A and B are shown apart, each in its own frame.
Chain A
Amino acid sequence: MGLELEIIHVFRSYNGNPILRDCSFAFAGGRTYVLQGPNGSGKSTLFRTLALLEKSDSGRVEYRDGGRILAADLALRRRITLVLPRTGIFNTTVFKNVAYGLKIRGVSRAEIEARVNDALLAVGLGHKKWQRASELSSGETKRLGIARAMVINPEVFMLDEPTANIDSANTAIIEDIILKMRQDRQAIILMITHDPAQAQRLGDDLLLMQDGKIIPA
């Protein structure tokens, strides 16, 4: 069945400006949601709140497993992930970047080796394994960010503008990966984009951010 995610009556303001206003939505397991909306409508804030990176002012984010509500602890946080728009790659090799999530979970070296290689292959960066991540192009950097998140097999996979500002070749590679994950039906996939055509291609459910709330598109 997998994780279920629900956001319930969440309010969030920055410096007195309300961003999320009584935001509520239930995300079903195994489906892919694509969220669009104008700049500043609160999409990134929503994702960061869902990813437990930030706390809401009121309301709650609920993760359920088999109907049981999960505590928002480290164990839960390790089952979900968010690929940030600025990616935040570490100043080390491509390999070590992708290995990070596994390393902090205490996975064995042999298993890390295997899983990282698979992830790099999936995003097409296998040949750059030992290069410094800072030397990658912006498209490759975005792919690296996705590989880094994929490799930990998250049950909720959030991506904030995964193909913004990159060329069509890289965009195609990334869309392929997302489509493959969607086919597997293993995780809830949440994605933000400004490209309506891309939303159509990739999403099961299309959503819109309006007045600080999520509404179906």
Chain B
Amino acid sequence: MQSIIEGFAAAFRLIVTLNPELWRIILLSLEVSGTALMLATVLGLPVGAFLALRRAPLRGLVISLLNTGMGLPPVAAGLFLYLFLSRSGPLGFIGLLYTPTAMIVAQCILAFPIVASLSHAAIANVDPVIRQAAITLGATPIQESLAVVKEARYSIMAGVMAGLGRVMAEVGAIIIVGGNIAGYTRVMTTTIALETDKGNFELAIALGIILLTISFSITVALRFFQRLGQGGTSGN
């Protein structure tokens, strides 16, 4: 018990004194996960929108695949990506393994199904009267689709937040493709794993506190967007 309390006290000291190593790790975590989410949204939102707005033939199959993808175990994704990116693998010539870019790719793979699937649900749930209203006001087919997507924007944001929460919390994929290299590919989750293994609870607890705070903020943001999304068009 004593060591836990000491650990917390030391952790607070690290946080408050703006320990540079701590903050570099935090910054890298935000960069990697943030970039991964942006990419996942750029790719996933159009896919979700396309599935919701066009009655494409393989729609049901694709949606099932996406839903399965949402539950993809991060460590499995990491393993397969590792085999691809290894210099002995098909994409080895790019030389991405053990770089932050590989981590971004891994997390993008994890977040993509979440963003695509939740965007699809959000857009498909928009009242059909919105699309009709846009048409009666003279929208082109593209403008029509944009109006529907815009209508779902809060629920889409909630989906993006869900994806962000998922990737900020994971460690399995990025530790395999990132290699947990000091000062280069070490992020909050992988450092917590490492330092706990080493028995360096100070840094681990400090990062744990911050990670929980960030997780909590993401959850609050998600809730905020969900509520905005619900208070949308009524049937008037």
A and B touch in the complex (CB under 8 A): yes
Contact A86 B137 (CB under 8 A): no
Q: In the complex, A105→B150 CA distance in Å? A: 18
Distance from A161 Cβ to chain B, minimum over Cβ atoms (Å): 12
* B220 close to chain A: CB less than 8 A: no
| Interface-facing stretch out of B60-68, B107-115, B167-175, B228-236 | B228-236
Contact B233 A90 (CB under 8 A): yes
Q: In the complex, A105→B138 CA distance in Å? A: 8
Contact A81 B236 (CB under 8 A): no
Q: For residues 211 through 236 of chain B, which have their beta carbon under 8 Å from a beta carbon of chain A?
A: 231-236
Contact B233 A84 (CB under 8 A): no
Interface size class of A (residues with CB under 8 A): 20 to 34
Contact B231 A134 (CB under 8 A): yes
Q: For residues 145 through 174 of chain A, which have their beta carbon under 8 Å from a beta carbon of chain B?
A: 148-149, 152
Most buried by A among B133, B134, B139, B147: B133
Q: In the complex, A81→B138 CA distance in Å? A: 8
| Interface-facing stretch out of B16-24, B93-101, B124-132 | B124-132
Contact pick for B236, options A82, A138, A152, CB 8 Å: A138
For residue B235, which residue of chain A has the nearest CB?
A86
Distance from B183 Cβ to chain A, minimum over Cβ atoms (Å): 46
Chain A 73-98 interface 0/1 with B at a Cβ cutoff of 8 Å (1 = within): 01001100111101111111000000
Distance from A8 Cβ to chain B, minimum over Cβ atoms (Å): 22
Residues from chain A with a CB closer than 8 A to the CB of B26 are none
Q: In the complex, A149→B137 CA distance in Å? A: 7
* A2 close to chain B: CB less than 8 A: no
Q: In the complex, A82→B129 CA distance in Å? A: 12
Residues from chain A with a CB closer than 8 A to the CB of B231 are 91, 134
Contact pick for B138, options A84, A104, A136, A138, CB 8 Å: A104
Q: Report A's interface with B, CB cutoff 8 A.
A: 51, 53, 74, 77-78, 81-84, 86-92, 100-101, 104-105, 134, 136, 138, 141-142, 148-149, 152
Q: Report B's interface with A, CB cutoff 8 A.
A: 127, 129-130, 132-140, 143, 147, 150-151, 154, 231-236
Known: A86-B235, A87-B236. 10 other contacts (CB 8 A): A53-B135, A74-B140, A81-B136, A82-B136, A83-B136, A84-B132, A88-B133, A90-B130, A91-B232, A142-B236
